[in-house]
Amino acid sequence: MDALADLDLRIAGCRACPRLVDWREEVARTRRAAFADQTYWGRPVPGFGPPDARLLIIGLAPAAHGGNRTGRMFTGDRSGDVLYQALYDVGLASQPTSVAADDGLELYGVRVTAPVHCAPPANKPTPGERETCRPWLVQELRLLRPTLRAVVALGAFGWQAALPALTEAGWSVPRPRPGFAHGARVGLDGAGRLELFGCFHVSQRNTFTGRLTPAMLREVLGTAARAAGLPGR
Protein backbone atom coordinates (compact mmCIF):
# COMPACT_ATOMS: atom_id res chain seq x y z
CA MET A 1 0.00 0.00 0.00
CA ASP A 2 1.37 3.45 -0.85
CA ALA A 3 1.79 6.07 1.88
CA LEU A 4 -1.22 8.10 0.75
CA ALA A 5 -3.51 5.06 0.78
CA ASP A 6 -2.24 4.35 4.30
CA LEU A 7 -3.00 7.95 5.30
CA ASP A 8 -6.51 7.66 3.85
CA LEU A 9 -7.11 4.54 5.94
CA ARG A 10 -5.95 6.25 9.10
CA ILE A 11 -8.14 9.29 8.40
CA ALA A 12 -11.17 7.04 7.95
CA GLY A 13 -10.65 5.74 11.49
CA CYS A 14 -10.32 9.14 13.20
CA ARG A 15 -12.64 10.02 16.10
CA ALA A 16 -10.92 13.16 17.39
CA CYS A 17 -13.91 15.56 17.21
CA PRO A 18 -16.75 14.37 19.49
CA ARG A 19 -19.41 16.67 17.99
CA LEU A 20 -18.63 15.54 14.44
CA VAL A 21 -18.39 11.87 15.35
CA ASP A 22 -21.87 12.10 16.93
CA TRP A 23 -23.32 13.96 13.94
CA ARG A 24 -21.87 11.83 11.15
CA GLU A 25 -23.01 8.64 12.91
CA GLU A 26 -26.45 9.99 13.73
CA VAL A 27 -27.00 11.02 10.09
CA ALA A 28 -25.85 7.55 9.01
CA ARG A 29 -28.37 5.96 11.37
CA THR A 30 -31.38 8.14 10.59
CA ARG A 31 -30.67 8.67 6.84
CA ARG A 32 -32.68 10.73 4.37
CA ALA A 33 -35.87 9.11 3.08
CA ALA A 34 -34.55 8.99 -0.50
CA PHE A 35 -31.56 6.93 0.66
CA ALA A 36 -33.31 4.83 3.30
CA ASP A 37 -32.28 1.58 1.60
CA GLN A 38 -28.58 2.53 1.53
CA THR A 39 -25.85 1.93 4.09
CA TYR A 40 -24.20 5.24 4.86
CA TRP A 41 -20.43 5.48 5.19
CA GLY A 42 -20.79 7.54 8.40
CA ARG A 43 -17.04 7.99 8.90
CA PRO A 44 -14.36 10.55 7.96
CA VAL A 45 -14.10 10.89 4.18
CA PRO A 46 -10.49 10.76 2.91
CA GLY A 47 -9.17 12.63 -0.12
CA PHE A 48 -9.83 11.19 -3.58
CA GLY A 49 -7.40 11.09 -6.49
CA PRO A 50 -3.99 9.77 -7.49
CA PRO A 51 -0.96 9.84 -5.14
CA ASP A 52 1.11 11.74 -7.73
CA ALA A 53 -1.43 14.55 -8.22
CA ARG A 54 -0.06 17.86 -9.49
CA LEU A 55 -3.20 19.76 -8.52
CA LEU A 56 -5.05 19.59 -5.18
CA ILE A 57 -8.56 20.96 -4.65
CA ILE A 58 -9.34 21.82 -1.03
CA GLY A 59 -13.04 22.12 -0.20
CA LEU A 60 -14.78 22.53 3.14
CA ALA A 61 -16.17 19.29 4.58
CA PRO A 62 -18.24 16.33 3.33
CA ALA A 63 -21.99 16.78 3.00
CA ALA A 64 -24.18 14.80 5.42
CA HIS A 65 -25.99 12.91 2.64
CA GLY A 66 -23.21 13.22 0.03
CA GLY A 67 -19.69 12.19 1.04
CA ASN A 68 -20.89 11.02 4.44
CA ARG A 69 -23.24 8.63 2.62
CA THR A 70 -21.03 7.45 -0.25
CA GLY A 71 -17.60 7.60 1.43
CA ARG A 72 -16.01 9.61 -1.39
CA MET A 73 -15.31 13.34 -1.52
CA PHE A 74 -18.04 15.41 -3.23
CA THR A 75 -19.80 12.24 -4.32
CA GLY A 76 -23.58 11.97 -4.35
CA ASP A 77 -24.53 15.61 -3.83
CA ARG A 78 -25.27 18.70 -5.91
CA SER A 79 -21.96 20.40 -5.10
CA GLY A 80 -20.12 17.37 -6.43
CA ASP A 81 -22.27 17.36 -9.58
CA VAL A 82 -21.01 20.87 -10.35
CA LEU A 83 -17.38 20.18 -9.44
CA TYR A 84 -16.96 16.92 -11.33
CA GLN A 85 -18.79 18.21 -14.39
CA ALA A 86 -16.26 21.07 -14.50
CA LEU A 87 -13.30 18.74 -13.94
CA TYR A 88 -14.56 16.59 -16.80
CA ASP A 89 -15.04 19.65 -19.01
CA VAL A 90 -11.41 20.73 -18.50
CA GLY A 91 -10.09 17.22 -19.08
CA LEU A 92 -9.25 16.23 -15.50
CA ALA A 93 -11.92 13.55 -14.90
CA SER A 94 -12.94 10.43 -16.79
CA GLN A 95 -16.68 11.15 -16.52
CA PRO A 96 -18.90 14.12 -15.66
CA THR A 97 -20.80 12.44 -12.84
CA SER A 98 -19.87 11.18 -9.39
CA VAL A 99 -22.64 9.21 -7.76
CA ALA A 100 -21.04 6.34 -5.82
CA ALA A 101 -17.61 5.18 -4.71
CA ASP A 102 -17.72 2.32 -7.24
CA ASP A 103 -18.96 4.33 -10.24
CA GLY A 104 -15.64 4.07 -12.08
CA LEU A 105 -14.72 7.77 -11.88
CA GLU A 106 -11.00 8.47 -12.31
CA LEU A 107 -9.25 11.79 -11.80
CA TYR A 108 -6.27 12.71 -13.96
CA GLY A 109 -3.47 14.44 -12.05
CA VAL A 110 -5.86 16.02 -9.57
CA ARG A 111 -6.89 15.11 -6.06
CA VAL A 112 -9.85 16.43 -4.10
CA THR A 113 -9.72 16.80 -0.33
CA ALA A 114 -11.16 18.80 2.56
CA PRO A 115 -9.70 20.52 5.61
CA VAL A 116 -12.39 18.85 7.74
CA HIS A 117 -12.98 15.20 6.88
CA CYS A 118 -16.27 14.68 8.76
CA ALA A 119 -19.70 16.02 7.85
CA PRO A 120 -20.58 18.89 10.22
CA PRO A 121 -24.06 20.02 11.32
CA ALA A 122 -25.35 22.77 8.99
CA ASN A 123 -22.17 22.35 6.87
CA LYS A 124 -20.38 24.48 9.46
CA PRO A 125 -17.34 23.06 11.19
CA THR A 126 -16.00 25.16 14.06
CA PRO A 127 -12.55 26.79 13.84
CA GLY A 128 -11.50 24.36 16.60
CA GLU A 129 -12.54 21.36 14.49
CA ARG A 130 -10.60 22.80 11.56
CA GLU A 131 -7.53 23.02 13.78
CA THR A 132 -8.00 19.47 15.05
CA CYS A 133 -8.24 18.14 11.49
CA ARG A 134 -5.33 20.18 10.12
CA PRO A 135 -2.60 17.57 10.78
CA TRP A 136 -4.35 15.28 8.28
CA LEU A 137 -4.17 17.99 5.60
CA VAL A 138 -0.54 18.71 6.43
CA GLN A 139 0.34 15.03 6.06
CA GLU A 140 -1.51 14.85 2.75
CA LEU A 141 0.35 17.91 1.46
CA ARG A 142 3.69 16.47 2.54
CA LEU A 143 3.00 13.22 0.72
CA LEU A 144 1.94 15.07 -2.42
CA ARG A 145 4.87 17.50 -2.23
CA PRO A 146 7.09 15.78 -4.83
CA THR A 147 4.52 16.34 -7.59
CA LEU A 148 2.19 19.06 -6.29
CA ARG A 149 2.35 22.31 -8.29
CA ALA A 150 -1.02 23.98 -7.73
CA VAL A 151 -3.80 24.15 -5.16
CA VAL A 152 -7.34 25.45 -5.61
CA ALA A 153 -9.02 26.47 -2.35
CA LEU A 154 -12.82 26.48 -2.57
CA GLY A 155 -14.19 29.34 -0.47
CA ALA A 156 -12.75 31.34 2.39
CA PHE A 157 -12.87 28.38 4.77
CA GLY A 158 -10.75 26.23 2.46
CA TRP A 159 -8.38 29.14 1.85
CA GLN A 160 -7.92 29.85 5.56
CA ALA A 161 -7.30 26.18 6.21
CA ALA A 162 -4.88 25.84 3.31
CA LEU A 163 -2.49 28.65 4.26
CA PRO A 164 -1.29 27.33 7.66
CA ALA A 165 -1.28 23.75 6.37
CA LEU A 166 0.88 24.75 3.39
CA THR A 167 3.24 26.55 5.79
CA GLU A 168 3.53 23.47 8.01
CA ALA A 169 4.09 21.30 4.96
CA GLY A 170 7.12 23.39 3.89
CA TRP A 171 5.92 26.23 1.64
CA SER A 172 6.53 29.92 2.42
CA VAL A 173 3.29 31.88 2.67
CA PRO A 174 3.69 35.68 2.34
CA ARG A 175 3.12 37.92 5.37
CA PRO A 176 0.60 39.37 5.86
CA ARG A 177 -1.30 36.33 4.68
CA PRO A 178 -3.08 36.95 1.38
CA GLY A 179 -6.86 37.17 1.66
CA PHE A 180 -9.35 34.96 -0.14
CA ALA A 181 -10.99 36.14 -3.35
CA HIS A 182 -12.46 34.35 -6.32
CA GLY A 183 -9.69 34.38 -8.93
CA ALA A 184 -6.94 35.13 -6.38
CA ARG A 185 -3.59 33.65 -7.36
CA VAL A 186 -0.55 33.53 -5.07
CA GLY A 187 2.83 31.99 -5.87
CA LEU A 188 4.51 30.12 -3.01
CA ASP A 189 8.09 28.97 -2.76
CA GLY A 190 9.73 26.60 -0.36
CA ALA A 191 8.95 22.95 -1.00
CA GLY A 192 9.05 23.56 -4.76
CA ARG A 193 7.11 26.31 -6.55
CA LEU A 194 3.38 26.12 -6.01
CA GLU A 195 0.51 28.31 -7.26
CA LEU A 196 -2.44 28.79 -4.92
CA PHE A 197 -5.80 29.78 -6.45
CA GLY A 198 -8.98 30.97 -4.79
CA CYS A 199 -12.40 29.98 -6.15
CA PHE A 200 -15.90 30.42 -4.74
CA HIS A 201 -17.10 27.17 -3.17
CA VAL A 202 -19.30 24.93 -5.32
CA SER A 203 -22.06 25.08 -2.68
CA GLN A 204 -25.66 25.16 -3.83
CA ARG A 205 -25.94 28.64 -2.35
CA ASN A 206 -23.27 29.86 -4.76
CA THR A 207 -24.22 27.84 -7.83
CA PHE A 208 -28.01 28.28 -7.59
CA THR A 209 -27.66 32.05 -7.26
CA GLY A 210 -25.16 32.34 -10.11
CA ARG A 211 -22.44 33.69 -7.82
CA LEU A 212 -20.34 30.84 -9.19
CA THR A 213 -21.19 29.84 -12.75
CA PRO A 214 -19.89 26.72 -14.52
CA ALA A 215 -17.81 29.01 -16.77
CA MET A 216 -16.19 30.72 -13.77
CA LEU A 217 -15.34 27.33 -12.24
CA ARG A 218 -13.93 25.99 -15.52
CA GLU A 219 -11.80 29.12 -15.86
CA VAL A 220 -10.17 28.67 -12.43
CA LEU A 221 -9.71 24.91 -12.83
CA GLY A 222 -8.31 25.24 -16.33
CA THR A 223 -5.85 27.96 -15.26
CA ALA A 224 -4.79 25.92 -12.23
CA ALA A 225 -4.34 22.81 -14.38
CA ARG A 226 -2.06 24.72 -16.77
CA ALA A 227 -0.11 26.16 -13.82
CA ALA A 228 0.31 22.61 -12.55
CA GLY A 229 1.62 21.44 -15.91
CA LEU A 230 -1.41 19.27 -16.63
CA PRO A 231 -2.62 19.00 -20.20
CA GLY A 232 -6.28 19.87 -19.47
CA ARG A 233 -8.51 21.55 -22.02
String of contacts with ligand SF4 for each residue 125-144, x by CB under 6 A: ----x--xx--x--------
Using rule CB under 6 A, residue 14 touches ligand SF4: yes
Q: What is the DSSP track for 40-92?
A: P--S----BS-TT-SEEEE-S---TTTHHHHSSTT-SSHHHHHHHHHHHHTT-
Q: Is 15 among the residues that bind ligand SF4 (CB under 6 A)?
A: yes
Does position 156 interact with ligand SF4 (CB under 6 A)? The reply is: no
Using CA atoms, how far apart are residues 201 and 181, in angstroms rounded to an integer? 11
Backbone CA torsion sign across 160, 49, 150, 188: positive
Going 11 to 165 to 88 to 205, the CA torsion angle's sign is positive
> Applying CB under 6 A, which of residues 4, 7, 8, 17 lies at the interface with ligand SF4?
17
> Site for ligand SF4 (CB under 6 A): which residue of 65, 69, 111, 117?
117
Classify residue 19 by burial, with Cβ atoms within 10 Å: 0-12, 13-18, 19+.
middle
Taking the alpha carbons at both ends of the chain, their separation in whole angstroms is 32
* Residue 194 CB, nearest approach to ligand SF4 (Å): 23
How many residues in the chain?
Answer: 233
Nearer to ligand SF4, 44 or 222 (CB): 44
Stretch that binds ligand SF4, among 8-16, 172-180, 205-213, 221-229 (CB under 6 A): 8-16
Regarding 28 and contact with ligand SF4 (CB under 6 A), the answer is no
> What 3-state class would DSSP assign to 201?
coil
Q: How far is the CB of 77 from ligand SF4 (least distance, A)?
A: 18
Decide: is 227 part of the binding site for ligand SF4 (CB under 6 A). Answer: no
Reduced to 3 states (helix: H, G, I; strand: E, B; else coil), residue 100 is: coil
Nearer to ligand SF4, 19 or 218 (CB): 19
Instruction: Tell me which residues touch ligand SF4 (CB under 6 A).
Output: 11, 14-17, 20-21, 44, 116-118, 129, 132-133, 136
